[in-house]
Amino acid sequence: MKRLIRKIIRFIRRKLRPAPKGVSPPIATNIRAARAIYDFSEELTYESIPETAIHDAKRLLLNGVASSLLGRQRQENESLLDPLAITKNSGPCTVFGHSYGVKFTDAVFLNAVHAQVYDSNDGQARGASHFGRVLIPALCAVAEQKQVSGKELLAAIVFGYEVAHRVYVKYRRNRPDGIGVAAAISKLLKLPLEQFTNAIYLAEQHGPIVYPGPRNIDTSANHICNAFLARGAVEAAFLAQAGITANPMGTQLFLEKDLPGGQQEFPFLIGDVYIKPYSVCRFLHNSIEIILSLKQSYPNLVNDIEHIEVELGKGANFVRKFVSPDAYYKSAQFSIPFNVACALLYGEVNHQQFEQPYISNKKVQELQRKVLVQLNPDNNLHRLGSGAYPTTMTIFLKDGCHIHREKIYPKGSAQNPFSDQELIDQFYSWADGAIAEDRKQQCVDMVFNLENVGNIGELMSCLRSEPV
């Protein structure tokens, strides 16, 4: 009886629980939401998408591939092949930066693993989701398997981001990523209504509940979590195509915002996606940029510092900690003190500084202890709109003076965007050592002219470490 009473109380509390802050009342639920997503898929063609959204899709494709190429260079991930029974040359699909092909589900998994090795993947403008780390590996693998055209892939990328941006799944974490993947793959496969909606239900109900962020920072599982999510969502679409069904009433699916099109012209949200200039958590970016900017005017700044105080908005508690000399490399990507110290000492922040010689460096260890991070509960991120990461920094100098700086929108946000050339330069840098120079240029040229590519396999062959 007591157990039954507790269940009833929990049920009532869930019903009375308000939607999270920043989440508007849902416009469609469960069956209606899935049908709305399907209708949007049917209406959305390459020709119907605004040129700006198509260009944004190209940029996110290049950035997503670059993230996987960067992560591929940590050789420890080769150890995943044997326990997961992934066999080289077992299929036609590309593992970015490698010479061999694998089955499409294995390509999804490995490229998604590599996309999260460094915290370099794109991000939802408001929120913690990073759609590109699952969407780009999934779409590239299935597009190569099915030999689709560049136009079809671009339309699926836009569609996947738009769906993932609008989906809210009550009481769950990271399901929008999986639902966006399942919907985008269903679009590529041209699934009819019943199969399409079953793919969404399967992805929502049976996908893993993963959280690759702060709770999992100090484990190597951090970058594997999203690979299970991506592969599971892809498999949901293929299972639905094979006739597997799911009960829609088991789904807690909502659409927060209207999809583009219809009687009103709702904007595409793909242009609001945050592209990272640094392979660290976005909460760190403004602090890094303030230091890098100051070093241009104060070359000797590192020797004149007494201590530094950084103030962030609420929700950033997990980036305050110091990094121990023997810390796992992931910890360094979520630490303001560590990255401020690197920016001061080296005049840059890049993935190489997350290797053990840099983490254990005596000067880095000493300097990070001078960085104190405080949270201001009144400094509300959402009050300033999407893409805002308000940061206040005060640098106290040994001569008694101090330097005060404030920054709201970091580089890479919609309000302070990466230029195409900056994105291309980043791709060249992150792909360094993974693919040859001439193949880098071929890849860039092909991505920005993807509408003229008849078979996406042409692009994938450029992303292998040597000619196929």
Same-domain status, 330 and 183 = no
If asked whether residues 237 and 288 sit together in one domain, one would say no
Report the alpha-carbon distance of residue 56 to residue 385 in Å, rounded. Answer: 20
pTM: 0.89
CA distance 156 to 146: 13
Do 393 and 443 lie in one domain? The reply is: no
d(CA 275, CA 120): 8
SS3 388: coil
Does any domain span residue 347? yes
| Residues spanned by the domain of 362 | 282-407
Looking at residue 192, which CATH number applies to its domain? 1.10.4100.10
Say what the pLDDT of residue 257 is.
Answer: 60
Say if 8 falls within a structural domain.
no
Confirm whether 4 is domain-assigned.
no
Residue 253, pLDDT score: 66
Residue 167 bridge partners (DSSP):
255
Rounded Cα distance between 69 and 74, Å, is 10
| 337 and 220 in a common domain | no
E-assigned strand segments in 130-267: 167-169, 253-255
Provide the pLDDT for residue 339.
96
Shared-domain flag, residues 270 and 291? no
Q: Are residues 254 and 286 in the same domain?
A: no
- pLDDT tens series, the chain, 468 aa: 555 555 444 544 444 444 444 444 444 457 788 888 999 999 999 999 999 999 999 999 999 999 999 998 886 667 777 777 788 888 899 999 999 899 999 999 999 999 988 989 898 876 667 899 999 999 999 999 999 999 999 999 999 999 988 886 554 555 688 889 999 999 999 999 999 999 998 988 887 766 555 566 667 777 788 899 999 999 999 999 999 998 876 556 667 666 665 444 568 889 889 999 999 988 999 999 999 999 999 988 999 999 999 998 777 788 899 999 999 888 899 999 999 999 999 999 999 999 999 999 999 999 999 999 998 877 665 555 667 888 999 999 999 999 999 999 999 988 899 999 999 999 999 999 899 999 999 999 999 999 999 999 999 999 998 754
pLDDT reported for residue 169: 56
How far CA 76 is from CA of 79, 353, 405, in Å, comes to 6, 17, 40
- The DSSP bridge partners found for residue 274 are 123
Are 121 and 132 in contact by the 8 Å Cβ rule? The answer is yes
Phi and psi torsions of 175, nearest 5°: -65, -30
Which pLDDT does position 20 carry in this prediction?
43
DSSP per-residue letters across 110-126: HHHHHHTTSS-S-B-SS
Four-CA torsion 337, 342, 343, 344, nearest 10 degrees? 90
The number of C-alpha atoms within 13 Å of 300 and in the hemisphere containing its C-beta is 4
pLDDT at position 235:
96
What CA–CA distance (Å, rounded) separates 63 from 430?
A: 10
Residue 193 lies in a domain: yes
- Is 330 inside a domain boundary? yes
**95: buried, middle or exposed (CB in 10 Å: 19+, 13-18, 0-12)?**
buried
Please report the pLDDT score of residue 387 as a whole number: 75
The number of distinct structural domains making up the chain is: 2
Rounded Cα distance between 338 and 325, Å, is 11
212 and 296 assigned to the same domain:
no
Residue 3 lies in a domain: no
**Amino acid symbol at 295:** K
Contact status, residue 240 vs residue 193, Cβ threshold 8 Å: no
253 & 304 share domain: no
Predicted local confidence at residue 128, as pLDDT = 67
Both 174 and 312 in a single domain? no
CATH assignment of the domain containing 348: 3.30.1330.120
Q: CA 339 to CA 345: how far, in whole Å? A: 10
Verify that 302 and 332 share a domain, yes or no. Answer: yes
Instruction: Assess whether 158 and 185 both reside in one domain.
Output: yes
